[in-house]
Amino acid sequence: MIHYTCDCCKQPIDSKRDLRYVVRIEVYAALDPTEADADDDRDNLQELQDILEAHEGSEYSSLDDQVYHNDRFDLCSDCRTRFIKNPLGRAMSQQVGFSQN
């Protein structure tokens, strides 16, 4: 039997009693086309992949994580609720937005 643990609060998730939520986060470099490239039919992601593969194993291998990164997390229902309310983990005082009276 597979045992799951919440990646946020580290509490075990009982698959028979509790729901387990999966959060996938994908971060990638935004490749906005320039005006000259707007009519171009090139596959920019393929070109980027070719560049990364050409530099694999060299000093540029750290570029991989700067261009694309993904993660997967298991959350319990309490941590899922907190994540939905504040997905970027900002301080609550920044979110409230009090007026400057």
pLDDT digits (tens, 9 = 90+) for 84-100: 999 998 886 555 566 67
The pTM is what? Answer: 0.61
User: How much is the pLDDT for 74?
Assistant: 97
Domain annotation covers residue 99: no
Q: Tell me which residue has tokens 């409230």.
A: 96
Give the three-state DSSP class for 90: coil
Bigger pLDDT: 28 or 12?
12
Query: What digits encode the pLDDT tens for the residues 20-77?
Result: 999 999 998 887 776 665 556 677 788 878 877 776 766 655 667 778 889 999 999 9
Domain count, the chain: 1
User: How much is the pLDDT for 66?
Assistant: 78
Domain annotation covers residue 92: no
User: How much is the pLDDT for 97?
Assistant: 62
76 with 12: CB under 8 angstroms? no
Domain annotation covers residue 57: yes
User: How much is the pLDDT for 57?
Assistant: 65
Domain annotation covers residue 97: no
Domain that holds residue 10: 4-87
Domain annotation covers residue 94: no
What is the spatial distance between Cα 75 and Cα 13, in angstroms, rounded to a whole number? 8
CB neighbour class for 43 (10 Å; exposed up to 12, middle 13-18, buried from 19): exposed
